[in-house]
């Protein structure tokens, strides 16, 4: 049901360090100057600059590529409290990218990032609680984290909250989240909503969503429409 969201090597927000000059140099593709400026701020303890420096080392921009130094600066940034660095490092440990796979460490860094309202961290940590991966299985914690991310607009969290409530046979709650997902432009939610409302025997609503799914070419929706004779409603 769930799929982890894996960002690129790093979140692009890692480059939003406090020094405007460094960011300006980066945007102008003057990577050597960007590296020099980010390094200065990083050594002074700037967490965002540390994260940006990690990115530059990882990509070999303005400096020779060095994954060991990249990881070292990312760890410093995460320990200094940068939410994006904590998320990136957590995902590294979760997937075993440039480090030995370690779900427990992944959960620790994702928890720190999630506490700072990083929605991708909340989502991926929710999946870990759902699967009992590196943490004790806890569906209530999964719902709590997904709800926080979903309320902040995280699309996958909206969809998967709906799926969890279907598994729990709480169809009214499931419909609420799939409605939000559909309103945000997720056409794949149309059929699911039609199925939910058929289950709830709210056939007028089921007809509406089935019709929208059919308009999008969904063959399953056509079968559902005929099965429940939705043309009557």
The DSSP secondary structure of 82-150, one letter per residue, reads -HHHHHHHHHHHHHTSSS---HHHHHHHHHHHHHTT-HHHHHHHHHHHHHTSSS---HHHHHHHHHHHH
Q: List pLDDT tens digits, range 128-161.
A: 999 999 999 999 999 999 999 999 999 999 999 9
Residue 163 lies in a domain: no
For residue 16, give its domain range.
9-80
Residue 52 lies in a domain: yes
Instruction: Compute the average pLDDT of residues 2-23.
Output: 56
Instruction: Compute the average pLDDT of residues 155-184.
Output: 94
Residue 162 lies in a domain: no
Tell me what the pLDDT averaged over the chain comes to: 92
Residue 105 lies in a domain: no
Residue 48 lies in a domain: yes
Number of domains in the chain: 1
Residue 232 lies in a domain: no
Task: Quote the pLDDT of residue 89.
Answer: 96
Residue 21 lies in a domain: yes
Residue 213 lies in a domain: no
Task: Quote the pLDDT of residue 15.
Answer: 53
Give the lowest-confidence range in 6-20, 21-35, 181-195: 6-20
CA 182 to each of CA 23, 46, 144, 191, 230: distance values in angstroms, whole numbers, following the listed order? 37, 41, 21, 10, 20
Share of the chain above pLDDT 70, in %: 92
Is the predicted pLDDT of residue 5 greater than 70, yes or no? no
Task: Quote the pLDDT of residue 7.
Answer: 45
Q: Name the pTM for this structure.
A: 0.84
Is the predicted pLDDT of residue 205 greater than 70, yes or no? yes
DSSP 64-80: ---HHHHHHHHHHHHHT
Is the predicted pLDDT of residue 70 greater than 50, yes or no? yes
CA 180 to each of CA 11, 173, 189: distance values in angstroms, whole numbers, following the listed order? 26, 11, 9
Q: How far is the C-alpha of 134 from the C-alpha of 122, rounded, in Å?
A: 15
Give the lowest-confidence range in 10-14, 54-58, 120-124, 195-199: 10-14
């Amino acid at each position: 049901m769930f799929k982890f969201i894996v960002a690129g090597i790093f979140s692009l927000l890692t480059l939003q360090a406090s020094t405007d000059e460094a960011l300006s140099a980066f945007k102008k593709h003057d990577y050597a100057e960007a590296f020099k400026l980010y390094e200065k701020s990083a050594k002074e303890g700037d967490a965002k600059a540390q994260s940006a420096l990690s990115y530059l080392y990882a990509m070999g921009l303005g400096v020779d590529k060095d994954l060991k130094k990249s990881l070292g600066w990312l760890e410093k940034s995460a320990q200094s409290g940068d939410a994006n660095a904590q998320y990136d490092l957590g995902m590294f440990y979760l997937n075993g990218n440039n480090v030995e796979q370690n779900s427990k460490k992944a959960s620790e860094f994702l928890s720190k990032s999630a506490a700072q309202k990083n929605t991708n961290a909340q989502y991926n940590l929710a999946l870990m609680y759902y699967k009992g991966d590196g943490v004790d299985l806890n569906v209530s914690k999964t719902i709590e984290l997904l709800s926080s991310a979903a309320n902040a607009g995280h699309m996958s969290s909206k969809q998967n909250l709906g799926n969890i409530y279907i598994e729990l046979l709480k169809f009214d709650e499931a419909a609420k989240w799939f409605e939000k997902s559909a309103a945000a432009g997720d056409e794949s939610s149309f059929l699911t909503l039609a199925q939910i409302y058929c289950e709830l025997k709210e056939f007028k609503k089921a007809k509406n969503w089935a019709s929208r799914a059919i308009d999008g070419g969904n063959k399953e929706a056509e079968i559902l429409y005929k099965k429940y004779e939705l043309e009557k409603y």
